[in-house]
A and B are shown apart, each in its own frame.
Chain A
Amino acid sequence: MGRFVARRLLQMIPVFIGTTLLIFLMVYSLPGDPIKSLFGPKAADPATVARLRHEYGLDKSLLEQYWNYISGLFQGDFGQSFTGRPVADLMSEAFPVTIRLALLAFGFEVIVGIALGVLTGMRRGKFLDQFVLVLTLLVISVPVFVIGYVTQFLLGLKWKVITPTVQDSENLGQLMIPAIVLAALSLAYVIRLTRTTVGENLRADYIRTAVAKGLPRKRVVGVHLMRNSLIPVVTFLGTDLGLLMGGAIVTEGIFNIQGVGFTLFKAIQTSEGPTVVGIVTVLVLVYLLTSLLVDLLYAVLDPRIRYA
């Protein structure tokens, strides 16, 4: 087990460097000069531009800049945004908001998704199954921004059940609807996935054995069936947390939530390299760590898997 974790951690290093390098190169080679754009519509004065470029190290080669960035990163320095604020500050404002949103969405996804998935998986072909199936298909086929807008329009403006936008990002009640919108797509996948695996496993030999042994139904479903059915679901959920945080770009925009998604989107648009790379670095770390966690959970769920 320890060796497995060590090896996975080692494998993460090239992936981490590769991903950050990839996003770094992409953002820093975008057309348009982020320094000149600081001047807005006025002609940028070359003397100030040159000094600012020097200050942010933009006069060096791309690889040199990346090296400086990464070495700064290992000293805990995320650098400075082109408007003079430390990226760490920007992130410490944005991340708590998005983490709350993503965790809410995630919780929703896990609880509702698995519950509905198990329910429909065990009652294949029944009305509830068909109904949920149609609903998930609808959610998958409608783009998330349409879902977001229609939800906001109906709930917030027409029926006035919610405030159309989030007033206070620490109020979990207000974050609920945006979280559901954010979770919608993944939720649909979780339901379908759980339904499929539960359906498959219901017919597996070990379940038949368990039933034949005379185990109570609760135990058969709760322990034997669930444990085996959840393996692929856990895999999906594991990588989804990171995706939710990145996927908040659209949802946060619609509901005026000043989190990571919005900050990231704006930073991409303005070629704000330090901010984009900083946020993506954190997202990549979250992604890598959750996938490691998933692998470990695997061993817990499936006794056939043993990590040497």
Chain B
Amino acid sequence: MRGAKSATWVAGAIAVALTATACGGGGNDSDDNAAVNPDGTYTYYNVEPQNPIIPSNTNEVGGGYIVKNLFRGLVDFDEKSKLRLVAAESIDTTDNQTFKVKLKPGWKFHNGEAQTASSFVDAWNWAANAKNKQLNASWFEPIKGYDEVHPAEGDPKAEKLEGLKVTSDLEFTIELKKPVSTFKEQLFYDVFSPLPKAFYKDTKAFGEHPIGNGPYQQDGDWQHKVEFKTKKFADYKGDDKPKNGGVVFKFYNKDDAAYNDLVSDKLDIMYQVPNSMAGQYQNDLGKRAISQMFGGNTNISFPLYEAEWAKPEKVKVRQGLSMAIDRETIAKTALKGSKDAADGYTPKVVEGYQGGACGEFCKFDPAKAKELIKAGGGVPGNKITLTYNADGANKEWADAVCNDIRQNGGVECVTDPKPTFQQARADITERRMKSAFRMAWVQDFPNIQNFISAQYRTKAGANDMEFSDKAVDELMDKADASKTIEESNKLYAEAEKKIIQEQMPSIPLFFDHTLAGYSKKVQNVKFDSFRQAIWTDVEVKK
């Protein structure tokens, strides 16, 4: 998971507490039929990328949004979260273990180099190699031969992934260690982008002047901390040819500042207005305000590795705590609509969402809450400490949830804000939690599998609770092995329900909400479930 979680982590760094903003004019001025300048560029809110722009080393929004525009992988998701082929003409598999990839012909990189099967295979081999220290190397883990190229310790025993074979100029095969039903979806990650030969000559220089195969190419130098300019790539062969002249990523160190600019038309698109403005932005922007569901959630989790919390009767306590929280009111007041009350782990916009996974346990009912907590023998230590990172916009909901637990659940609750995401993560990953902690998930790809498997499978990478349930694991294995995505979705939904109703290792709280806005200079601005604009469709007015 990349995406907005890191966004809050980066953008939120200084935006611990925020200000007021513009009293801009109300909405009157969105004229969707204005004359369009096909070469006009527009500015897009972003934060300074943390790392050089290399797909396999970019794991946060700042760089992620730029990579998304400079590169095109084999597949991506459309606005409706449906998988579609992009650079690939076909990806065939019969067993979800061996995939035959055929590329579309005629694609070129920004420097004119032709895109071939090796552009992909070489890039993946390079990125997976432990010697190259790429932050996203572990995405290649499912591919056969990964353990040789990227051993847990010591030098790589092989230079190339055994599972990747170039069969012709435009064709290659991928062989996995074992079947993965969502591997095609996973191919959407930026890390699976192709790289031109120029990359290997000087990787450092490439990081400053990336060359991709996407609809936009870099325009001039990267002006660090100021902006990253792109322009339309004339030779782009994809279906989504830009309707504008280019995107200028403008870097801000806090979203309030960006919002002020948006209202005064100095910034064209902002994908998330600051929480402090959530109550006002529709007044400020009128029709240019966008509000839609987002593929991310916020939960609070429990350390099941602690003996006290692992006791079977504590399920009741967790469910009781869940019922003490008045999600609807918190979402409407303290959060100003920037999140919605959750009814499970999987957000509504995500493929495979079935609704009601949480059932009555997410209903606000103080009497039942107290009863359940009592029946479960009370909270370990008679006190909940809710750990979260203060550099994201978490204080509002964390305080409100804690107040609810204290007042409606009858359990003392204090929040424990860690100054940074990093410090909170360190304590969580090193299993130092004694009580509740924030656990949020932003989709890697919009499918229920991503929300359940990544966090609730035994020993999964993001299973910070050390939750483990054999029956649940079996259900997920069965889902992964299923032939169709529909079947897989159904099994995952079943697993989700089972987890919440029988164990509740984490309390579902909120689904995130996209609150975006755009200036008077642009039109036809739409967002997908990743909270990303459909960049190529944006039209710049004359």
Is there contact, CB below 8 Å, between A42 and B261? no
Chain B contacts with A in 33-61, Cβ cutoff 8 A: 48, 50-52, 59-60
- Asked whether B20 lies within 8 Å of A32 as measured between CB atoms, the reply is no
Among A40, A157, A265, chain B packs the most CB atoms within 10 A around the CB of: A40
Considering residues A41, A94, A156, which has the most beta carbons from chain B within 10 angstroms of its beta carbon?
Answer: A41
- Chain A residues lying within 8 Å of B257, measured Cβ to Cβ, are 164-165, 255-256
In the docked arrangement, what's the CA distance between A89 and B421, Å? 26
**Closest A residue by C-beta to B19:** A149
Of the candidates A36, A39, A47, A265, the one whose C-beta lies within 8 Å of that of B153 is A47
Asked if A38 is at the interface of the complex by the 8 Å CB criterion, the answer is yes
Least CB separation from A37: chain B residue = B422
How far is A195 from B6 in the complex, measured between Cα atoms in Å?
A: 51
Contact A41 B1 (CB under 8 A): yes
- Is A52 in contact with chain B by the CB < 8 A criterion? yes
Q: Is A43 an interface residue (CB 8 A)?
A: yes
Q: A32-B422, A33-B426 are in contact. Are A47 and B254 (CB under 8 A)?
A: no
Q: Say yes or no: B6 contacts A51, CB within 8 Å.
A: no
- C-alpha gap A258/B153 in the complex (Å): 40
* Chain A residues near B423 (CB-CB < 8 A): 31-32
Which of A11-19, A219-227, A266-274, A296-304 is found at the contact surface with chain B?
Answer: A266-274
A residues less than 8 Å from B9 (CB atoms) = 40
Report 29 cross-chain contacts, Cβ distance below 8 Å, ordered by A residue.
A31-B426, A32-B422, A32-B426, A36-B425, A36-B429, A38-B50, A40-B9, A41-B1, A41-B6, A41-B425, A47-B151, A47-B152, A48-B133, A48-B137, A50-B153, A51-B131, A85-B52, A93-B225, A152-B19, A157-B23, A163-B264, A164-B260, A256-B252, A262-B14, A262-B253, A265-B14, A266-B13, A270-B13, A271-B422
Closest 8 interchain pairs by CB? Answer: A256-B257, A37-B422, A165-B257, A43-B461, A164-B260, A32-B426, A258-B225, A253-B14
Cβ distance A97 to chain B, nearest Cβ, rounded Å: 9
Q: Which residues of A contact B264 (CB under 8 A)?
A: 163
B130 within 8 A of A: yes
A164 touches B429 (CB 8 A): no
**Structural contact, A42 and B133, CB atoms closer than 8 A:** no
The contact string, 1 if C-beta is below 8 Å from chain B, for chain A 240-281, is: 000000000000011110100010011001110000000000
- Give the CA-CA distance A152 to B20 in the complex, in Å: 9
Chain B minimum-CB-distance residue to A156 = B260
Q: For the complex, is A84 an interface residue (Cβ under 8 Å from B)?
A: yes
In the bound complex, how far is the Cα of B423 from the Cα of A230, in angstroms?
47
Q: Which residues of B contact A85 (CB under 8 A)?
A: 52
Chain B contact residues: over half helix, strand or loop, or mixed? loop
* Contacting residue for A47 out of B51, B150, B420, CB 8 A: B150
Is residue B138 within 8 Å, beta carbon to beta carbon, of the partner chain? Answer: yes
Asked if B260 contacts A157 (CB within 8 A), the reply is yes
Q: Considering the chains assembled together, what is the distance between the CA atoms of A93 and B251 in angstroms?
A: 14
Residues A253 and B253 in contact, CB atoms below 8 Å apart: yes
| Residues on the B chain within 8 Å of A265, using CB | 13-14
A232 within 8 A of B: no
* B152 and A83 within 8 A (CB): no
For the complex, is A46 an interface residue (Cβ under 8 Å from B)? yes
In the complex, which residue of chain A has the Cβ closest to the Cβ of B59? Answer: A40
Interface size class of B (residues with CB under 8 A): 35 or more
B464 CB to closest chain A CB, in angstroms?
A: 9
CB pair A40 B52 closer than 8 Å: no
A84:B422 contact, CB within 8 angstroms: no
B59 touches A47 (CB 8 A): no
**How far does the alpha carbon of A165 sit from the alpha carbon of B423 in the complex, in Å?**
30
Docked pose: A41 CA to B2 CA in angstroms: 8
Task: Give residues in A with beta carbon < 8 Å to B.
Answer: 31-34, 36-48, 50-52, 55, 83-85, 89-90, 93-94, 149, 152-153, 156-158, 163-165, 167, 253-256, 258, 262, 265-266, 269-271
Question: A157, B426: Cβ atoms under 8 Å?
Answer: no
CB neighbours of A39 from chain B (8 A): 59, 135
Q: With an 8 A cutoff between CB atoms, is B289 at the interface? A: no
CB distance from B148 to the nearest CB of A (A): 12
CA of A254 to CA of B150, assembled, Å: 44
Alpha-carbon separation in the docked complex, A153 to B256 (Å): 12
Q: Does B266 contact A (CB under 8 A)?
A: yes
Q: Is the CB of B21 within 8 A of A258?
A: no
A42-B461, A153-B20, A253-B14 known; A84 vs B426 contact (CB < 8 Å): no
New contact pairs (15) apart from A48-B130, A48-B138, CB-CB < 8 Å: A31-B426, A32-B420, A34-B422, A36-B425, A37-B422, A40-B5, A42-B461, A43-B461, A47-B150, A47-B152, A84-B207, A157-B260, A163-B266, A256-B257, A258-B251
CB contacts (< 8 Å) of A37 on chain B: these are 421-422, 425-426
Interface residues of B in 113-161 (CB under 8 A from A): 130-131, 133-135, 137-138, 150-153
Q: Is the Cβ of A167 less than 8 Å from the Cβ of B14?
A: no
Min Cβ gap B63→A in Å is 10
Task: Given A152-B19, A163-B264, A271-B422, answer yes or no on A43-B14 (Cβ-Cβ < 8 Å).
Answer: no
Q: Is B534 an interface residue (CB 8 A)?
A: no
Q: Is B226 an interface residue (CB 8 A)?
A: yes
CB distance from B3 to the nearest CB of A (A): 10
CA distance A149 to B253 in the complex (A): 16
Asked if residues B130 and A47 are in contact (CB atoms below 8 Å), the reply is yes
**Closest A residue by C-beta to B261:** A165
The reply on B22 being an interface residue by CB < 8 A is yes
